[in-house]
Amino acid sequence: MMNPLKPSILIILGAAGDLTHRKLLPALFNLFLDKRLPEKFSILGFDRKKLEQEAFRNHLHEGVNEFSRRGKADQESWVRFSRFFKYFSLDFTEKDSYLKLSEELKIQEKTWEEEADHIFYLATAPSFIENIVNHLGEADLLHDQARTRVVIEKPFGRDLASAIHLNETLAHVLDESQVFRIDHFLGKETVQNILALRFANSLFEPLWNRTYIDNVQITVAEQIGVEHRGGYYDNAGALRDMLENHLFQLLGLIAMEPPTSFNQDEIRNKKVDVLHAIRPIPKELVAEVAVRGQYGDGNIEGQAIRSYRDEPDVAPESVTETFAALKLYIDNWRWQDVPFYLRTGKRLSTQIAEISLQFRAVPHRSFPASATELWVPNHLSIRIQPDEEIILRFQAKQPGTAFKLEPVDMRFAYRESFSKQSPEAYETLLLDIMAGDATSFVRADLEKAAWSAISPVLEFWGSTPPADFPNYPAGTWGPKASDELLERDGKQWLLRG
């Protein structure tokens, strides 16, 4: 099959950094092995670090060996792949660097005798974004809207005001259609499958509303701590690091109205409608609907875990939350008064990401009480990781002469139904960027709506330091207040210890 992608030059700014090493290069190498890269393709890596070509290649090779889903690279493929890239040690805060960059683009296009798409991937610390895009604009590298794209990674600001400011800076030199804001959750296979489950089946959609759904729960639980990212994380916290972006994207997909087409803006319009419909949280209600936590010493699967405040680069008296839970309502016809409970945290007991729709109780229990001791409401769970599964829980009669009900699961597991290994999120997203398809990227208005929705919580938490941190031991399901958030509504987390 001919590869339909146009000649492309991927310019990675921050090429010597962690993201390139762990995510981008392993993903690009896998695309290469799958023959999904454009026939005319080149990667220009820029960073301040002084590195010879050989040292740069070796560094990337190690990254691929360690982080590629296929494991170690075979030597022959690696050598063929490494011809695609070149490293330049340049300071991207200096104007002259962009003259060099511009020259390199021309040299490459001259060799191909063809104009190429230019993809500027900002794999740098967020503080460089504005400086880089301004330089790119000044060097006239962004004017061709059809051929030029800029990719940025979260965090997109740290509150509503800074997010608006960032968007304005981008809008100054770029058309919104050129901006690809990455939320890597949107590249995950099971997340993309939410659209298939909801809109390629007639079975679920009639039930997907306030008449049948009692509550919706979105949990992204991590066992890992902050690893080597204490410096960044201590200034961010769980609300900014995960909830405002990854969990809100899941919320958008799970709660959106059916799109009329697969047009990129149609899907994003439907998602942004959801975020715009989030009922504003009055500041005086924050303590009732939002829970924060920070892990103390604990134990995960037999291993002693030190508290967050003892992690490297974390302030010893830090009040940054490593756990956040939020109860939200979506004010529209479909979801009026259905609570959405979102939670995420680090150093929790299990590594799992799941969205569950809990159905309403049956209107009348005709069975005798002795039959329904184990009765639970139906729920549909979309498990995103570690196992990619969809599970429907319903009641069945236990085998035996007595009439007793027991909940059972109907389970679809990706790895059983499909033998093919799923691509990494970055593989899918990089291909989309090359194809210019922005469906799975965060549009400016969506970003703004997400920050607006959490602003009252950010402000309240920022102005009222927590008195009880650390308030959950590593290896548990978070602070007690997170269970109480649901218990007050007569509900429970479906995933619990």
Binding site for ligand BG6 (CB under 6 A): 184, 222, 241-242
Burial 154-187 (b: 16+ CB within 10 A, else e): bbbbbbbeebbebbebbeebbeeebbbbbbbbbb
Q: In this structure, how many other beta carbons lie within 10 angstroms of the beta carbon of residue 490?
A: 7
Query: Least Å distance between CB 287 and ligand BG6?
Result: 25
Pick 222 or 432: Cβ nearer ligand BG6:
222
**φ/ψ bin of 313: left (φ > 0), alpha (ψ from -120 to 50), beta (otherwise):** left
Residue for token pair 């309403």: 360
Query: Least Å distance between CB 359 and ligand BG6?
Result: 27
Query: Least Å distance between CB 229 and ligand BG6?
Result: 7
Residue 61 falls in the annotated catalytic set: no
Q: Which of 61, 135, 246, 379 is catalytic?
A: 246
> 479: helix, coil or strand?
coil
Residue 417 buriedness (CB in 10 A; 0-12 / 13-18 / 19+): exposed
Query: Least Å distance between CB 66 and ligand BG6?
Result: 15
Identify whether the C-beta of residue 166 lies closer than 8 Å to the C-beta of residue 442.
no
Identify whether the C-beta of residue 309 lies closer than 8 Å to the C-beta of residue 471.
no
> 385: helix, coil or strand?
strand
Pick 41 or 426: Cβ nearer ligand BG6:
426
Residue 298 tokens, joined: 């604990």
Pick 67 or 204: Cβ nearer ligand BG6:
67
Burial 8-24 (b: 16+ CB within 10 A, else e): bbbbbbbbbbebbbebb
Pick 240 or 309: Cβ nearer ligand BG6:
240
Query: Least Å distance between CB 227 and ligand BG6?
Result: 8
Pick 134 or 235: Cβ nearer ligand BG6:
235
Pick 80 or 228: Cβ nearer ligand BG6:
228
Q: Cα-atom radius of gyration of the chain, to the nearest Å?
A: 24
For 53, 60, 81, 427, the CA distances from 85, given in Å and listed in that order, are 9, 10, 8, 17
Query: Least Å distance between CB 444 and ligand BG6?
Result: 19
Q: Rounded distance, CA 58 to CA 224, Å?
A: 28
Active site residues: 246
